[in-house]
Structure 1
């Protein structure tokens, strides 16, 4: 959205009295749709974390809760994986390091998206996680190569590129922090 706003800033027919570019209805609607997608995808990641942590009975039965000694990676990677990477995923299923990385990733990505901060890191980490999950079920069940994991990865990149954390999130504040100004990859 910053690029869209900057590109329209020089159009004199769209400047308001203060001399700044006026936001069109379509631009405002786009910002809010992207914010809604960010919040929805953030909830997808955070819910997966909570379900696996507490065994809330959706994808994870209560008896397999991580908090009660279950493994968030063992069931899927040990049983549901197919395709060319099956052996690799079977080997890491249930490994403590894999469980911790997976859970930290789900929580971190979900929280970052919900708050609208660290969008570049969340998009990179989330896309990597989603592409790895996609490789675990190659080929996808209903399509030769495309599935929701790749779509979600593309949406994450879109959200980071459009500063979607600035609307209904703390992205503007986050971006103004001195450390984020010095290290733009933290945006």
Structure 2
């Protein structure tokens, strides 16, 4: 989770590959009108995000029970609560960085609908995970390899701990 430009897709793909999980890219489930709106620098409302989050959950829920890594902004706790309610056991890796670093990344990327014009609104609504949420907060100033390593260690430690608590 995190704002546009924090590397959710890149890190999510790396984690999924390393752990043998299925990968779900939430950006692929936005309605065409929502993509057009964001491409024009207009943020989505909560009402517009709810069907999208439901579509993300639908894609993640499959009968094979294979673990899934989802790249999804999940900027507000209510969004994360919806994901937890629909998916059951969900943990979050919050990719965080300075506004300057995120803006640099957004300005450098091409062919994505979430442009630098959305950053201010995303930072405004961002609710970083609190202590009572099952979340790991990581600084995107680290290399993709370091972020992936830290995330995988945390996920595996959490999975092992859950196994022995049961």
**Under a length normalisation based on structure 2, what TM-score does the superposition of the two structures give?**
0.28
> Which has more radius of gyration?
1
Structure with greater helix percent: 1
Structure with greater strand percent: 2
Larger relative contact order (Cα-Cα within 8 Å, sequence gap ≥ 6): 2
